[in-house]
Amino acid sequence: MPARGKAATMDRVLGIDVGGTGIKAGVVDIAQGKLLTGTEKIPTPQPATPAGIFSAIEQILEKFHWDGPIGCGFPAIVKKGVTRSAANIDREWIGYDALGQLKKLTSHPVNIINDADAAGLAEMRFGAGKPFNHERGGVVLMITLGTGIGSALFVNGNLLPNSELGHIEIDGVEAEKNAATVIRERNGWSWEEWGRRVNRYLQTLEFLLSPDVIIVGGGVSESKEKFFPFLNLQACLLAAKMGNDAGIVGAALAAGELGGAK
């Protein structure tokens, strides 16, 4: 029987999606983009320090009895394994060697990536972005609406990482303080009131970037009929197809051989 080579072990990756509110994980078949297990979810420790989040990640590894490759999505700029921002997590993450810390947990391959970039990779490869995931696919902008606003920008199937478009200011207010899902919930806004804010935000991005396609992701994409009627855009507007699993699947992709949008 042939020895189990590297390629054979890299088809299953534990994807971990660290969010401002919850940490979700599942074992992913990265060739199919499918979860092979149920997802485990634990609340993000507060304050969301590196120590707190890494102890939560260790709990997750124990829950899955996992000893294999790990891909992790973080709600921060991630450059060469170092987290460089902290909008909805503790400021200790700024300049933190997250990849180095993750490597201490396993001898298997690991990777970390921005959470919205992870969700975008998953949608491009397996979800709503699939028809545009090729060398003439044009400009695809994925926006995730959740605790914060994340973005993933693709040009002809290639990711431009760490775009952080949730932080642009419109009328002097940061977009994620006005159009994230939690802001609607916190203020008790109607879908229309919130939808008009999302519309203003997406129209601004459309003016700046002229995307061919805009994919709206985050858990709220499952309620698209409630707010899509208020979105008036030139680009082809799509709801993400992979829902809340996109972050987990994309994080796993980033660690696997299929990392990248293609």
Binding residues for ligand BGC, rule: CB under 6 A, are: 75-76, 85, 87-88, 114-116, 144, 146, 148-150, 164, 166, 176
Phi, psi of 43 (to 5 degrees): -60, 140
Helix (H), strand (E) at residue 116: helix 115-126
> Residue 107 Cβ, how far from ligand BGC at the closest point, in Å?
29
Residues 6+ apart with CB under 8 A from 47: 90
**Considering the complex, what minimum distance in angstroms separates the CB of residue 23 from ligand BGC?**
12
Residue 181 beta carbon to ligand BGC: minimum distance, rounded to whole angstroms: 10
50/68 with CB nearer ligand BGC: 50
Classify residue 105 by its DSSP letter.
T
3-state secondary structure of 261: coil
Which residue's Cβ has the minimum distance to ligand BGC? 148
| Residue with smaller CB distance to ligand BGC, 167 or 224 | 167
User: Please, which residues have CB within 8 angstroms of residue 201's CB and are 6 or more apart in sequence?
Assistant: 149, 170, 175, 178, 179
Number of residues assigned to the chain: 262
Cβ-based nearer residue to ligand BGC, 102 or 179: 179
> How far apart are CB 115 and ligand BGC at their closest, in Å?
5
Q: Which is nearer to ligand BGC, 2 or 172 (CB)?
A: 172
